[in-house]
């Protein structure tokens, strides 16, 4: 059963740093997470997840003022999709202060710190030299890059797929889901990823796969989908954070000896992925 095979990590205070360190019970667990492209992360005690969930649930109300957040391009704003009964409020980091309440913007910044902790641990295991982490990640590892904090609802009363199979484009996705429905592809079969109380589901994306491809620890971008399921509450709520590279930046591939093995404009990499089963954030 896959649920027993999904590694679980925690964030530990690191005496050597102001940042917390991603920690697995055993080193094989991180290796398994990199192979699988997915793991559970214990939600930190200082994260006010419940009020963020409450904010998400309140977006369902037709008179919610946040339903008036305008569109910025195709990816940002309050977006109601026709095809799969998904509605969402999606915003990049630069607009959190403008459109999210202060406590939600602060929540997003806490997820930034979690995203960085995850990437740094992958880099440590990859053998990529620390001096190259910032360049390899297009600045994300040092607090730059592109981050989205999205509040998503799937209305499961339709028989459609909630979300077709895809990989995520970015480095890391942090997911808080209120109900089951997420499945990942393992060995050609889709398997359920159960909701684990007090844990995020973390998955790795194409950009992290790209930058680790020639390192000692290549990370898989996991193919996943969301299936429509009936539940007591027919609306499946989720909070999704995407850690991405800047669209106008570069990504670099280094090996453990510090040699450059390749590079790509982020836009070129994403354009290559565009025709495969991926989503753009
Ligand atoms: Fe996804």
Distance (angstroms) between ligand 1 centre and the Cα of 167 equals 6
- pLDDT bucket at 4, cuts 50 / 70 / 90: low
Strands 38-42 and 199-204: antiparallel
Other Cβ atoms less than 10 A from the Cβ of 50: the count is 8
* C-alpha–C-alpha distance, residues 232 and 236, integer Å: 10
Distance (angstroms) between ligand 1 centre and the Cα of 66 equals 23
Return the CA Rg of the chain: 18
What pLDDT, in 10s, does the model give residues 170-213? 999 999 998 888 899 998 999 999 999 999 999 999 999 999 99
What pLDDT, in 10s, does the model give residues 101-151? 999 999 999 999 999 999 999 999 999 999 999 999 999 999 999 999 999
What pLDDT, in 10s, does the model give residues 21-44? 999 999 899 999 999 999 999 999
Q: Which residues pair with 148 in a beta bridge?
A: 92, 242
Asked whether the predicted pLDDT for residue 277 surpasses 60, the reply is no
pTM given for the model = 0.93
Residue 85's pLDDT is 65
> Which of 71-80, 90-99, 150-159, 222-231: highest mean pLDDT?
90-99
Residue 178's pLDDT is 82
As given in the structure block, the two tokens for residue 115 are 């995203």
How high is the mean pLDDT of the chain?
Answer: 90
Distance (angstroms) between ligand 1 centre and the Cα of 15 equals 34
Distance (angstroms) between ligand 1 centre and the Cα of 21 equals 25
Ordered alpha helix ranges (H), the chain: 2-5, 27-36, 49-58, 96-99, 102-126, 133-136, 206-212, 266-274
Closest CA to 121 of 214, 273, 221, 17: 17
- Separation of CA 118 from chain center: 11
Distance (angstroms) between ligand 1 centre and the Cα of 132 equals 27
Interior angle at CA 256, CA 147 and CA 248, nearest 5: 30
Contact assessment for residue 192 and residue 3, using Cβ atoms and an 8 Å cutoff: yes
Residue 18's pLDDT is 77
As given in the structure block, the two tokens for residue 19 are 């940042």
Other Cβ atoms less than 10 A from the Cβ of 21: the count is 17
Distance (angstroms) between ligand 1 centre and the Cα of 168 equals 5
User: Which is more confident, 41 or 3?
Assistant: 41
Residue 86's pLDDT is 76
- For tokens 């690191």, what's the residue? 14
């Amino acid at each position: 059963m896959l649920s027993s095979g999904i590694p679980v990590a925690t964030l530990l205070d690191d005496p050597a740093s102001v940042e917390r360190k991603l920690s697995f019970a055993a080193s094989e667990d991180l290796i398994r997470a990199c192979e699988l492209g997915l793991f559970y992360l214990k939600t930190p005690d200082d994260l006010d997840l419940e009020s963020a969930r409450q904010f998400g649930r309140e977006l369902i109300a037709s008179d919610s003022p946040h339903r008036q957040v305008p569109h910025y391009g195709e990816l940002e704003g309050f977006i109601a999709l026709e095809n799969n009964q998904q509605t969402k409020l999606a915003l990049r980091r630069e607009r959190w202060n403008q459109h999210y309440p202060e406590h939600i913007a602060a929540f997003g910044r806490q997820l930034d710190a979690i995203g960085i902790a995850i990437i740094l641990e992958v880099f440590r295991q990859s053998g990529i030299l620390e001096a190259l982490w910032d360049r390899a990640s297009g600045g994300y590892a040092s607090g730059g890059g592109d981050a989205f904090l999205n509040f998503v609802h799937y209305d499961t009363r339709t028989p459609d797929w909630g979300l077709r199979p895809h990989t995520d484009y970015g480095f890391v996705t942090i997911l808080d889901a209120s109900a089951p429905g997420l499945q990942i592809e393992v060995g050609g079969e889709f398997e359920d990823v159960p909701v684990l109380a007090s844990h995020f589901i973390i998955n790795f994306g194409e950009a992290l796969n790209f930058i680790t491809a020639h390192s000692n620890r290549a990370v898989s971008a996991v193919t996943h989908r969301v299936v429509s399921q009936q539940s007591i509450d027919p609306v499946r709520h989720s909070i999704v954070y995407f850690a991405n590279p800047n669209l106008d930046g570069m990504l670099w591939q280094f090996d453990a000896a510090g040699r450059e093995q390749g590079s790509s404009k982020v836009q070129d990499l994403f354009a290559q992925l565009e025709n495969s089963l991926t989503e753009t954030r």
